[in-house]
Amino acid sequence: MAGLPADVRRFYVRAILTAIRRRDRWSLASATRPSDLACLLRLARGRLQTVELGTGWTSISLALADPRRRVVTYDPHDHTGRESYFALVDPAVRDRIELRRRSGERGPEAGESVEFLFLDSSHAREETLASFRAWQDAVVPDGLVAFHDYGHASYGGVREAIDELGLRGDIHGALFAWRKART
C-alpha cells in the first residue's frame, strides 16, 4: 500500500474487505495491485480527462486521487455487485465517474479527448490493438496511454499488441506507458 494516497489506501482496504465478504472472486482476481496502482496514479498526476477501458476499482481510485479528475470508464459487461464498490466513496467522487456500458474498442464519442488512457480490458492481442487504434487520435499531444499487465505471463497479448504497434515507452512494474508526441 506504500505510495498510495491515504484516501485511495482506505478505499482499497474497504474494497478488499467488501469483495471478501461478498465472495467476489472476480474483483479480487482482477483488481489492480497496490504497487501498480501507485505507479498508475503517478503517471496520471495532473491529467484530468481520464478514460479506463475495462471497469474495476481503478476508476474509483483515479477519481479519489485527484478531486478535479473526471473518469469515463468503458465496459460492456455488467459485473455483479459493482455498485457495492461505488457505494464505498462519497457521492461527489461517484459523480466524477461515468460508466459507459460498451466496449472500448468502439472508441470515443464524437469530440471526446483524453489526457490519460488506461487499457485494462481483455488483454488479448486483437482487442488491445483495436482499443488502442480506436482511441489513439483522441489522446491529446503529450497525453499518456498506460497498458496494464504488460509482461504478465497469462496476458501475452498486451506485449504482442505493443510490439506490433511499434510503440516506444517506459515500463513501470506491470504497466507499459506510451506518451503521445507533442505536435
Write down the mean pLDDT value for the chain.
89
CA–CA gap between residue 96 and residue 27 (Å, rounded): 21
Domain boundaries, the chain: 6-179
User: Tell me, what's the pLDDT at 64?
Assistant: 84
Of residues 48 and 24, more confidence is placed in: 48
Give the residue-averaged pLDDT of 122-147.
92
The 10s digit of each residue's pLDDT in 135-165 is 999 999 999 999 987 766 666 688 899 999 9
Chain segment 76-118, per-residue pLDDT in tens: 877 677 788 889 999 999 999 999 989 888 999 999 999 999 9
Q: What is the pLDDT of residue 154?
A: 65
pLDDT attached to residue 55? 75
Residues 58-64 have a mean pLDDT of 83
Three-state secondary structure of the chain: CCCCCHHHHHHHHHHHHHHHHHCCHHHHHHCCCHHHHHHHHHHHCCCCEEEEECCCCHHHHHHHHCCCCEEEEECCCCCCCHHHHHCCCCHHHHCCEEEECCCHHHCCCCCCCEEEEEECCCCCHHHHHHHHHHHHHHEEEEEEEEEECCCCCCCHHHHHHHHHHCCCCEEECCEEEEECCCC
pLDDT for the residue 89 = 92
Cβ atoms of residues 117 and 137 within 8 Å: no
Q: What is the third-level CATH fold of 6-179? A: Rossmann fold (3.40.50)
Angle (CA) 6 7 9, round 5°: 60
Percent of the chain, pLDDT > 70? 96
Instruction: Indicate whether 46 pLDDT > 80.
Output: yes
| Percent above pLDDT 90 for the chain | 57
Buried b / exposed e along 4-28 (16+ C-beta atoms within 10 A): beebbbebbeebbebbeeeebeebe
Q: Is the pLDDT of residue 21 over 90?
A: yes
